[in-house]
Structure 1
Amino acid sequence: MKVDLAVIGGTGVYKADMLEQVKDVEVETPYGKVNLIAGFYKGRSVAFLARHGKGHSVPPHLVNYRANIMALKKLGAKRVIATAAVGSLNEKMGPKDFVIVDQFLDFTKSRPQTFFEGGPQGVLHVDVTDPYCREVRQFLLQKARELNFRVHDGGSYVCTEGPRFETPAEIKMFKVLGGDLVGMTSVPEVVLAREAGLCYATVAMVTNFAAGISPDPLTHGEVLQVMNELSANISQLIMTVLETIPLEGNCTCGKGPGEAGKF
């Protein structure tokens, strides 16, 4: 089955109840098999991939990012909307706010970062001046504003290795470096999407203030509770975007793979 659009559901976003004619799909990639679901929404074909697997069974540092992105590419997805639960370093970005991320700081340690590791694959130095697709970002922002959600235009996502939460000292450092949000999944997902020529954007959902800013110890239960409270809003935003976003754009997201002669 070929699809036009794809959604990558992060923590707390495990289902795509809006889809019709749903079927389970298994995609074989050089990096492993990927199980996802595909269906239709308002006549458009959509793939939904739960980043952490069923029941949140895969921690962030063990997510098979290369297989996931390759699977969406093989299915023909042109535009990808990813969700992410994040902590905030920015007092202006409070719990239950949406942030349409525009930059990242990479503090991951052990994750494969590229499809191009030399040999037959060659080498690709992909440009990430605008890591997240400008057009998809602006569309998400526009629709969130039309729905009267609290939403911020841009924010720097600090990606840590996880699965532990960060120390207050780390949060203080990230804030000095210009970070607004902290999470564990956007990298290398966003980089691989760019290598694959996908128009990819992330809508981050603030679940709490980060360690040292929050007056209370952080818990995964707290994250899930806030995500549950946000579930109706994120579903409404995703449905609105899936129904109305243009399937083709004028962005430059596809230039990386063209340079390498791959994909």
Structure 2
Amino acid sequence: MYAVDIPRVEFAVIGGSSTFSINFPQDLNAPDVQILAENLIFPTPYGDSPSLKLFTIAEKKVITVRMHGWRRGVSRGKASQQLFWVLREAGVKKILAEGGVGAINHLLKPRDILVASDYLDFSMRKDVGLDGDFLLTMRQPVCPVLRNALLQAAEKCSWGKERIFDRGIYAVTDGRHFESPAEIIMLGRLGADIVGQSMCPEVYLAREIGACYGRVDIVTNYAEGVIRDWEHQELTDIFYHEASRMGNILLEAMRQIDARQECGCADLRHPTLLKE
């Protein structure tokens, strides 16, 4: 549904590969979730936005997108610009994201949950921004309030045997191929625990629009050269059978948070000094 008027929304969920196999949030059958609108597409200065969905949970209005807004025929950087332009215009203050990642740290194994605390950016999308003239401070890249909410939600949505890690360094690469064993060795030596493709530029764009950002990731495979070769069947099992757990973590975290930004994230962008 092509739309012009962007609704006022303070909360957003950026879906990734860990919920891609379900229709989020409908398939979770949460009694406090109500779908308000689907297939919303908005014109932006960067092209038409990805298809968005609007729902309510615990009296909060939430806007969500599937698979980071990535789609055929649109570069990933452009898709991020389109998405975050809409989030900015909507007035979004809190963003939850998710994904599937490869384990670099040898202590991690498939199906582990990790709430990232920092990142290393090896993507080629660093110049993706909006039209805001800001100096962005990244000393607190992930909102501590959102991290805590995601951790509590992950614990509540576990059966007691799943492993949940409350910190870790997310190395961002472009994909879509997996990294080489030599690249994984390099990333590990630099301190990375997991590797994926979506934390950047999302973490920069969230800071640019003044929103808090937090994410939860599930380990879907060992990175190349770690422990053992990853298996496509195991990847498939996690893709289809862990999606509901990841979706429920997002919903439970959304129930816990509010729109206040006492964490200081919104104060970490400053007017640029480089003005003509």
User: In structure 2, do the counterparts of structure 1 residues 150 and 187 end up closer, same or farther at CA, with 3 Å as the change threshold?
Assistant: same
Helix, strand or coil at the partner of 1:28: coil
Matching of residue 225 in structure 1 with residue 237 in structure 2: yes
Q: Deviations over 1:183-236 (max 9, x none)?
A: 0111111111111111111101110110011522565x7544313221121122
Equivalent position to 2:185, from 161, 166, 172: 172
1:128 aligned partner: 138
User: In structure 2, do the counterparts of structure 1 residues 60 and 139 end up closer, same or farther at CA, with 3 Å as the change threshold?
Assistant: farther
Equivalent position to 2:271, from 256, 259, 263: 259
Deviation at 1:241, TM superposition (A): 1.4
Contact preservation (8 Å) 1:94, 1:209: yes
Code of the residue aligned with 2:55 in structure 1: it is: G
- Aligned residue pairs total 254
Code of the residue aligned with 1:45 in structure 2: it is: K
1:144 aligned partner: 154
The TM-score, its normalising length taken from structure 1, stands at 0.87
2:25 aligned partner: 16
Matching of residue 90 in structure 1 with residue 78 in structure 2: no
Deviation at 1:240, TM superposition (A): 1.1
2:59 aligned partner: 43
> For the residues of structure 2 that align with 1:64 and 1:224, how far apart are their CA atoms?
26
Q: Deviations over 1:59-103 (max 9, x none)?
A: 984561122112112122211100011000112221111111011
Percent of residue pairs bearing the same amino acid type:
28
Q: For the aligned residues, what is the CA RMSD?
A: 2.4
2:3 aligned partner: none
1:73 aligned partner: 88
Code of the residue aligned with 1:8 in structure 2: it is: I
Query: Where does structure 2 lack aligned partners over 5 or more consecutive residues?
Result: 1-6
Contact preservation (8 Å) 1:51, 1:63: no
The TM-score, its normalising length taken from structure 2, stands at 0.83
User: In structure 2, do the counterparts of structure 1 residues 207 and 43 end up closer, same or farther at CA, with 3 Å as the change threshold?
Assistant: same
Code of the residue aligned with 1:190 in structure 2: it is: V
1:2 aligned partner: 8
> For the residues of structure 2 that align with 1:96 and 1:217, how far apart are their CA atoms?
13
Code of the residue aligned with 1:234 in structure 2: it is: M
User: In structure 2, do the counterparts of structure 1 residues 253 and 28 end up closer, same or farther at CA, with 3 Å as the change threshold?
Assistant: farther
Code of the residue aligned with 1:141 in structure 2: it is: L
Deviation at 1:237, TM superposition (A): 1.2
Helix, strand or coil at the partner of 1:239: helix
Equivalent position to 1:114, from 129, 135, 160: 129
Code of the residue aligned with 1:187 in structure 2: it is: C
> For the residues of structure 2 that align with 1:232 and 1:58, how far apart are their CA atoms?
29
Runs of 4+ in 1 over 6 A off after TM superposition: none
